[in-house]
Chains A and B, each alone.
Chain A
Amino acid sequence: EEQLVESGGGLVQPGRSLRLSCRASGFTFGDYAMSWFRQAPGKGLEWVAFIRSKTHGGTTGHAASVKGRFTISRDDSNSTVYLQMNSLKIDDTAVYYCADSSGYYWGQGTRVTVSS
Chain B
Amino acid sequence: DIQMTQSPSSLYASVGDRVTISCQASQDIKNYLNWYQQKPGKAPKLLIYHASNLETGVPSRFGGSGSGTDFTFTINSLQPEDFATYYCQEYGDLLYTFGQGTKLEIK
Interface residues of A (CB under 8 A from B): 35, 37, 44-47, 50, 61, 63-64, 97, 99, 101-104, 106-109
Of chain A, the residue at the smallest CB distance from B45 is A106
> Would B43 and A35 count as touching, CB distance under 8 A?
no
- Asked if B95 and A109 sit within 8 Å, CB to CB, the answer is no
B98 near A44 with CB under 8 A, answer yes
Judged by DSSP, the binding face of B is loop
Residues of A within 8 A of B91 (CB): 101, 103
Whether A61 and B46, one on each chain, are in contact in the complex, defined by CB atoms closer than 8 angstroms, is no
Residue of B nearest to A37 (CB): B96
Instruction: Give the complex CA separation of A109 and B41 in angstroms.
Output: 9
Check: B31 CB closer than 8 A to any chain A CB: no
- Taking a contact as CB atoms under 8 Å apart, the answer to whether A45 and B89 are in contact is yes
Interface digits, B71-102 against A, CB 8 Å rule (1 contact, 0 not)? Answer: 00000000000000001010100111111110
- Of residues 36 through 59 on chain B, the ones whose CB sits less than 8 Å from some CB of chain A are 36, 38, 43-46, 49, 55
Query: A103 is contacted by which of B89, B100, B101 (Cβ under 8 Å)?
Result: B89
Given A104-B46, A109-B43, do A45 and B94 touch, yes or no (CB 8 Å)?
Answer: no
Which positions in B face A, CB cutoff 8 Å? Answer: 1, 34, 36, 38, 43-46, 49, 55, 87, 89, 91, 94-101
Chain B neighbourhood of A101, CB < 8 A:
91, 96
With both chains docked as a complex, state the minimum distance between the C-beta of A101 and any C-beta of chain B, in angstroms: 7
**Most central of B43, B44, B98 by chain A CB within 10 Å:** B43
Which residues of chain B come closer than 8 Å to A109, judged between CB atoms?
A: 43
In the complex, chain B residues whose CB is within 8 Å of the CB of A35 = 96
Contact call A45/B55, Cβ cutoff below 8 A: no
CB distance from A51 to the nearest CB of B (A): 11
B87 with A103: CB separation less than 8 A: no
Nearest-Cβ distance from residue A116 to partner chain B, whole angstroms:
26
B49 engages A50 (CB within 8 Å): no
Task: Report the separation of the CA atoms of residues A45 and B46 in the bound assembly, to the nearest whole angstrom.
Answer: 13
Nearest-neighbor residue (CB-CB) of A98 within chain B: B43
Closest 8 A/B residue pairs (Cβ): A47-B96, A106-B43, A45-B98, A44-B101, A103-B46, A103-B34, A104-B46, A44-B100
